[in-house]
């Protein structure tokens, strides 16, 4: 599922896309899309999150990602709107995969194109930090210890709190 969101004010021109999908994504292609058609962006920051082999001491085999269709998109759209109010953003893209993901696979992509690097870095980190604590995704880890739904981490909540200043 994906859609484009164009805010009503021309002064706040920003192109935003959110995709929740099972299939993988092409990081290089996403970067090219963020470059866009006009030379208005002087900085692009992209983040991707991957399935890591070790988590809390157990040997991970794969992750199963579940989400709440509809609410996920509206939470992410809301976070993008908050980011737009805080920083200058020309283009933004969030991709989050769901379903079964094996070791080393890409899970999530957040990319920001902005006039300046400070805005691009900050907006990208803000979106990742709040995605982790607010967007309704759940990870189940399949490891040599069996299947476990992961718990929310205190450190992730601390990262969220840090943006409220």
Q: Which residue has the tokens 């001491």?
A: 57
Residue 99 binds to another protein (criterion: CB under 8 A): no
Q: How many residues are recorded in the chain?
A: 165
Q: Does residue 135 touch another protein according to CB under 8 A?
A: yes
**Chain residues 6-45 in contact with another protein, contact rule CB under 8 A:** none
Asked if 106 interacts with another protein (CB under 8 A), we say no
134 binds another protein (CB under 8 A): yes
Q: Does 71 bind another protein (CB under 8 A)?
A: yes
**DSSP designation for 137:** E
Distance CA 84, CA 13 (A): 10
> Dihedral (C-alpha) 53, 56, 59, 62: value to the nearest 10 degrees?
-60
Q: Helix, strand or coil for residue 146?
A: strand
- By C-beta, is 15 or 48 nearer to another protein? 48
- Say how many Å lie between the first and final Cα of the chain, rounded: 33
Q: Which of 90, 91, 93, 132 binds another protein (CB under 8 A)?
A: 132
Binding site for another protein (CB under 8 A): 49, 65-68, 70-71, 74, 96, 107-108, 128, 131-140, 149-152, 156
């Amino acid at each position: 599922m994906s859609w484009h969101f164009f805010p009503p004010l021309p002064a706040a021109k920003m192109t935003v896309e959110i995709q929740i999908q099972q299939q993988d994504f092409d990081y290089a292609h996403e970067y090219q899309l963020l470059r866009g058609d006009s030379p208005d962006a002087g900085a692009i920051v992209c983040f991707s999150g991957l399935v890591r082999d070790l988590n809390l001491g157990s040997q991970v085999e794969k992750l199963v990602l579940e989400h709440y269709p509809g609410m996920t998109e509206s939470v992410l759209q809301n976070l993008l709107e908050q980011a737009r109010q805080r920083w200058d953003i020309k283009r933004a893209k969030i991709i989050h995969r769901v379903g079964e993901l094996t070791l080393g696979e890409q899970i999530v992509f957040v990319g920001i194109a902005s006039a300046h690097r400070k805005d691009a870095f900050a907006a990208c980190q803000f979106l990742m930090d709040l995605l982790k604590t607010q967007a309704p995704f759940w990870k189940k880890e399949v490891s040599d210890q069996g299947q476990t739904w992961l718990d929310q981490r205190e450190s992730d909540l601390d990262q969220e709190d840090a943006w409220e200043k």
